[in-house]
Structure formats: C-alpha cells, structure tokens
Structure 1
Amino acid sequence: MKWKKCVFSFAVIFTLIASLSLINVSAEVPFEINAKSAILMDQSTGKILYEKNIHEALPPASVTKIMTMLLAMEAIDNERIALEDEVVISEYASSMGGTQLYLEPGEIKTVEELMKGIAIRSANDASVAIGEHIAGTEEMFVQMMNDRAKELGMENTNFINSNGLPAEGHATSAYDIALMSRELLKHDGVKGWLTTWMDTVIVGRKQSQQQLVNTNRLIRFYDGATGVKTGYTTDAKHCLSASATRGNNSFIAVVMASPSSQIRFEEASKLLDYGFANYNTVDIVKKNTSVGKIPVHKGKAMEIDGVVLEDLKVLVNKGDEDKVNKEVILPKYLEAPLIKGEKIGEVIITIDGAEVNRVDIVTPEEVKKASIFNILVRMFKGFTGN
C-alpha cells in the first residue's frame, strides 16, 4: 500500500513539473531584443506583451524627463500653472550643461517654450527651470517626482534630478518607464510637442534663433509614432521609450542600455511591429457614455444613466475579436437619494467564457430625494396624461 502511495506521489510531482515546464515554454519571449532591459506594453489596457528584465533598476538618462513632463502637464491641467506663465531662468538652471537650450540667468521664457525644449530637444536647463517654476526648487520638484512615481506603482524608481544627468542612485526600470509613459500620453496637450519633428526657439540676451530637432527619430520614420523620449549617458547607454498608434491600437515600447542609438530605434520598432502584427484592441464602452437606464424610486429624477468612468477596452489576439462578450449587470431600480459617482452595477468582460475584466458602473450625477410636492405633481401629470 505504501509503495502504491509513493508511486502515485511521484506521478503527481512529475505531472506538476511537466505542467510547469509547459508554462515556462509558452511564456518564453518570441524574439531577442538587443538591450539590457525591454518591454512592450499595450497603452489602452497596460497589458505586458513582451518583457526582458523589466524590473531591473538602471540609469535612464533623459528618459527621466517623461516624469518631468507628466508633472508639468498635470500642473497645467489643474491650473496651477499656465502655458503663458513667464519663468525667470535661474543661474542653477542655466548651469546644467549637456543637451540644452543655452538659457541664460535672468532670461524669461514661457512654460510653453520650456516644454517645447524638453519634449523636442531634451533640454536639461529647461527641465530644471520648469521644475523650479512648479515646486519652487529643484529639490522639492524631485520629491514630487518620487511621490508621483510611488502613486503610479513605480517600485524600482528613485529620481535624484529632473533631467537624467548622471547621479548616484538615479535609476528606474523599463516597466516603470512604461507606466509613466502611459500616464503622460493621457494628456492630449503634450502630444503636439512629442510628435513635432522640427521647430525653432528664441533664446539668450541676443535673442538668437535655434533650430530644434526631435531626438526621437521614430517621429519621422515610424508610421503612427506618437512619442515619447530618448536618453543617453555613458552609464545608461542608449535608452528609448517609444509609442505609436495605428487605428484602434496603441503600444509603448521601452528599451534600456542598448549598445547604440541606431539599435535602440531598431529594437523599439521591432517591439512595436510585433504588437501591431499580433494584437487588436476591442472597444467595449466609451468613457461617460450610458450602458443602461435605471428607474429611481422617490427621486427628483425618475431614471438615471449608468456610466463607466474610463474607456473600457480589451486586447485580444488578432482573429479573436468575436470571442469577446460583454455582460452589463444593473439593478431593476434604485432608491433616492444617490451620490454622484456611486457604484450601481458592473460590466463584466469574458473571452471564451473566462473573465478578463470587470469595471464599476456609477451614477453620472447626484439624484436628490423627491419632495411630497414633486411626487404630487408627478401623480397629477400621470392622471392627466401631461
């Protein structure tokens, strides 16, 4: 009897090992990327489609500026700063060196001019100037960067400065870069700068005109490119966060510590090509559109729409679009009062019967309880047919 139990146990263990082996084989990457770290992420859903050392903390060089631009766009959207704001360039900002606009101490530039310099030329002096304008000092702005990184779940990131110049301990990961790139691309206002190939800017006391050329050559040469940022230092080597959109599909490719500038663009293109060739995005529900009407008992409004707060999309393998099923779960009625944003149901998405996503349906507005007078008026109209 003991012998049979031993044989059975070995059989179970062997089966488990075989299963794990199959899982590992199926999870193997389909091709190699010539970089120390790389990731391909679906922009709509955040799903990871390719990974190589994606959580390894590495120096990001000027890819750092993605977070600088993100905080600037959030400050603009929250009306803490405005594109027309005049920024006095500090002596510290003008001393940055490296890739820059050659801003001079005391010179005045608008937020819009600084953002253009960051997004297109990757200007170190402009990055510090915008950070000082938002937070007061570079140190306080860097603290904001690290706080925002934590909020986004960037667990392998530590910023020391706002521009990515070499500094001990300044590091992030390919996964974390993809997260902040995805967040930045939610701001439509930044896309015009990110996709500009050439522009000009006036700088210095002599008001000389400088030509800006986008450091991200994919903007010119890759179909559908939408951003995001290059980076290079001796320690970081050649880094790139690249995004592109074709039709309904958007992807973010990150490569870190690639051996040359040419190779980083080739490898990012390879990742993006893989995404567009093999996956498709299915729209399920648009943000703030009704997924159904629900009667409201004793409310000033007799019914209310159920909405979702974000666009709901599902990424599938090409050819599997018809396998996506949407189930809307709503109550037969609701009782007033209702608070704006209150959960009232769910949308459940399945593919071949397996659940892949579930989001809340909420109220788009407040519904107050009806007064006796409201109810009597409603009853009267019901009797009279008016």
Structure 2
Amino acid sequence: MKKRILCAVLSLALFLCLLPGTVIKAAPTEEIKKKIEEPENLYAQSAVLIDADSGRILFAKNGQEERPMASTTKIMTCILALELGNMEEKAVASAQAAAQPEVKLGVKEGQEFYLKDLLYSLMLESHNDTAVVIAEHISGSTEKFAEKMNEKAEKLGCNHTYFITPNGLDAQDEIGIHHTTAEDLAVIMKYCIMDSPKAEEFLAITQTKEYQFSDCSGNGNYHCSNHNAFLNMMDGAISGKTGFTADAGYCYVGALSDGERTFIVALLACGWPNNKGYKWSDTRKLMTYGLENYQYRDVWKEIEESKVVVENGVTEDSFPGEKLEIETRVKGKSCMLLLREDEQVEVTCEMPDKLKAPVQKGNVVGKVIYTLGNEKVAEYEIVTDETIAERSFSWSCSFIFQNYFLNEDRKIKINQ
C-alpha cells in the first residue's frame, strides 16, 4: 500500500510539472537578493546596452524614442556595400557626390575609386561624398540605395528606423525624417559584427587605425585615420562609428568583446558642441556596467522524461483497447544565458495530455520555455522518442486473423 501511495504521489508531481503553463523556478538565495544599481546620469537622451549574442536589451534609457542618428547611418551603408558589391569594382563619382558637404574626401566628378578603398574612407573618416559614391555604385542612385537600407532594417526587425541618405545627413521627405532608435541602431550593429556573412570584413575595416590609397588612375594620395577613439579606451573594443549633425547631436554605436561576452552600446543625442566627449563617458559607463554585472550561467532545468497517452494507437504487441503511452524527451542539454546575479529565469513546460495516432519518432509534441520577466530568452522542443502506428480497419482485421485464428496462446489470452 505504501509503495502504491508513493508511486501515486510521484506520478502526480511529474504530471503537474508537465502541465501547460507550469512554472519551475528556484527560490533566490540571500546572496542573489542584493540590489544591482543600473547606470545613472547618462548624457545621452537615448541609450541602450545589449548582449550582442542574443540581442537581449540589458539596459535602456528611452531606447525606442525615434531620433536622427547622423553618421552612425554609415554602418548600414558599409555592410550593404560589402554584401552587394565587389571590393575590386571601380566606382565613379557623380556631380551629386562631389557636391556633398564636409566631412568629405574631396572626390571630383568622373573620378574613379576602388570600392574597397571607399569603405575605409567611409568608416574611418566618415566622408559624406564617399557614402554617395558607394550608394550610387551599388544601386544607381541614393534613393534606390535608401530603399535597400530600409528593406534590410525591416528584415532585422528595426521597425522604428527610416533611412533617406547613405551618409546620415539630416534629411526629410514625405514619409518623415531620417531617423532610428537606440535599440534599432544596436540591432543593426549586432547584424554587422555578428550575423552578416560579411561580419569579418566589416570588423577588419572598422578596426583599422590608418589607411592610404589613391584613385584608380594612381592620382592623389588619400590618408584616413580612424576617429573611433573607443578602440583605444577599453580593452576588448572591436568596432564602432561616431556621428554628429545639428539635429542629431553627438551619436555613437560601438562594440566590445571580452571572452565569450560581447556588448553593444548605442547612444543618440549625446550632447552638442562643446560636449564632444560625452559619448565616450557614456560608452565607458555602460560597457563597465555590462562587464561587472553580466556573466554567462547555465540555467538548464532537467525535465524528467515522461509518457503521453496516444489515442487510437497500436504496436506489434498491443491489444485492442489497450492504453498506449509514448516516451518523450527534451532536445537540449544546457541553456547558457548572460545574466545578472539577481536575474531569475522561469521555466515553463507546455505539452498536451494526449496525442492522436499515428505518431512518428522525433515528432515535436511540446516545448520548454525559458523566460526572464515577460521576455522569452530560450526555447527547447519536446519530441517523441518512439513510433506508434494508427489502429485502422486493415490492422484490426490482420490482428484478428493473426492472433485469434493462428496464435493459440494469444487467443486464450484474448478470451480470458
């Protein structure tokens, strides 16, 4: 009797564990309860810090406010040129490109440059005329290139971003102004350094300290110095782009890698002249906050393998009316997340009480969801571990013939 009661209790516990919406979470210890102070007194009117691996926002101040972003725009121009262009192609400067305002390379109408050289001019010195040459070479016009910029932003989920120019100069059309948000800008940088097939080339360009080139005819001697001072400010700095216009103020987006951790900071409206250094102060403060407070933890919760009833199912040894159950398992063995000490992950199991035959081995029948607050941070499939066929009329006829007329032992068992 005691064994039966114990089995019933264990079965009930496992059943409750696997009910849809069931939450499993560990009680926080006293060590974890200590309060983590977030960055304060930032100069930027909009700022975010994200985990470059998952894209999760670790800190935000007005992260979804739409603002002009100045030359941080050029990270999108650069990545599109890398993905759509050939670095050895020759790009011809137009009259429109030659007429761009400072900061500029000083191209002349009809002058030819290799696309590769123009990308260093774009990202190191932030030349506005170079951006136009690149855009016109890739798409035929700055308007067509802006369409590609907006298409890419939409694919990345940047729904609060609108590009008009390839260089980030303040602009407005019938739809609105040239703008983004700090969150969207960080997402675009994540794509440039982590997800794009040209991420390695993007990083190589943005990490270059000095670069020299001539035009395709060998005329001129152009020298570019990287204006991203953050590369020399903190160990692990790997990329970044500055920006400034009268409407946007000082802007910045940058990335830092420390072992397995990579952080991205995006700042908009971070002061106006004479406060050029505010962006560096804010970037250091946010990166330091990330480095000091976020570590990877394996938050994997073991979910016991369980059985699910399969209706109308049959196996080689089953009998009509026999209750059949199928084994399931969770696809996964670890769940590494970048977390603060005081952040607690909740685990929810979602799986039906019954399945309908036929069921194939490996069928997805549920999921285990890891959430942090209201945000889903990981998900793992629950799959079947065996195959069960469907009981059909032909199977029933075959069963009766094989087991009632031909197999005396099973005939006796059935009659019993």
Question: What's the counterpart of residue 223 of structure 1?
Answer: 235
**Larger mean Cα displacement after TM superposition, 172-181 or 64-73:** 64-73
2:123 corresponds to 1:119: yes
Structure-1 separation of matches of 2:223 and 2:77: 22
Query: Highest relative contact order (Cα 8 Å, sep 6+), 1 or 2?
Result: 2
Specify the alignment match of 2:397 in structure 1.
Answer: none
List 4+ stretches of structure 1 deviating above 6 A.
Answer: 342-347
Q: CA separation in 1, counterparts of 2:163 and 2:132?
A: 13
Residues 233-290 of structure 1: CA deviation (Å, up to 9, x unaligned): 12211100011101111001111111222110111111011101110235899xxxxx
Over 3 Å counting, the alpha-carbon distance change for 1:102 and 1:175 in structure 2 is same
The structure with the largest alpha-carbon Rg is: 2
The equivalent of 1:133 in structure 2 is: 137
Name 1:50's counterpart in structure 2. Answer: 59
Q: CA deviation at 1:146?
A: 1.3
Structure 2 stretches lacking a partner, 5+ long: 1-34, 301-330, 352-358, 384-416
d(CA) in 2 for partners of 1:170, 1:204? 33
2:192 corresponds to which residue?
Answer: 184
Contact in 1 for aligned 2:293/2:341 (Cα 8 Å): yes
The answer to whether the Cα contact below 8 Å between 1:346 and 1:358 also exists between their aligned partners in 2 is no
Match of 1:66 among 75, 78, 98: 75
Quick one: structure 1 residues 28 and 196, their matched pair in 2 at CA, closer, same or farther if it must change by over 3 Å? Answer: same
Mapped contact 1:93–1:126 kept (Cα < 8 A): yes
Shift of 1:170: 1.1
How much has 1:358 moved relative to structure 2? Answer: 1.1
Q: CA deviation at 1:201?
A: 2.5
Q: Is 2:325 the counterpart of 1:317?
A: no
Deviation, structure 1 residue 137? 1.2
Partner Cα separation in structure 2 for residue 135 and residue 360 of structure 1: 42
In 2, Cα distance between equivalents of 1:261 and 1:225 = 19
- Counterpart for residue 290 of structure 2: 275
Kept after mapping to 1: 8 A contact 2:114/2:215: no
Q: 1:278 to 1:85 in 2, by over 3 A?
A: same
Counterpart contact for 1:65–1:127, Cα < 8 Å:
yes
Equivalenced residues, count: 299
Q: For 1:204 and 1:67, locate their aligned partners in 2 and report how far apart those are by CA, in whole Å.
A: 25
Residue 61 of structure 1 contacts residue 233 of structure 1 at CA under 8 Å; is this kept in 2? yes
Identical counterparts, % of pairs: 30
Q: Partner letter of residue 271 of structure 1?
A: L
Deviation for aligned residue 1:97: 2.0
Contact 2:71-2:167 at 8 Å conserved across structures: yes
Whether the aligned pair in 2 keeps the contact of 1:160 and 1:170 (CA below 8 Å) is: yes
Q: 2:93 aligns with which of 89, 92, 104?
A: 89
Shift of 1:229: 0.8
Q: Is the 8 A contact 1:240 1:254 kept in 2?
A: yes
Deviation string 1:139-178 (CA, Å, 9 cap, x unpaired) is 1001111122122221221211110112131111111101
Cα RMSD over matched residues? 3.6
Q: TM-score, normalised by structure 1?
A: 0.68
Q: Distance in 1 between matches of 2:270 and 2:75?
A: 19
Q: Partner residue of 1:358?
A: 379
3-state SS in 2 of match to 1:261 = coil
Query: Which residue of structure 1 lines up, in the alignment, with residue 41 of structure 2?
Result: 32
Q: List per-residue Cα deviations over 1:27-73 (Å, max 9, x = no partner).
A: 99442211111111110111111111111111111011111122123
- Does residue 1:262 correspond to 2:266, yes or no? no
Question: Are residues 85 and 318 of structure 1, via their aligned partners in 2, closer, same or farther at CA, if it must alter by over 3 Å?
Answer: farther
Instruction: Give the SS at the match of 1:106.
Output: coil
Using the alignment, how far apart are the partners of 2:107 and 2:366 within structure 1?
53
The separation in 2 between residues aligned to 1:130 and 1:181, in whole angstroms, is 19
In structure 1, distance between residues paired with 2:261 and 2:270: 26
3-state SS of paired residue (2:281): helix
CA shift in 2, pair 1:107/1:360, >3 Å: farther
Distance 2:229 2:127 in 1: 16
- State the match for 1:175 in structure 2: 183
1:145 counterpart SS class: helix
Q: State the match for 2:246 in structure 1.
A: 234
Tell me the amino acid that sits aligned with residue 358 of structure 1: E
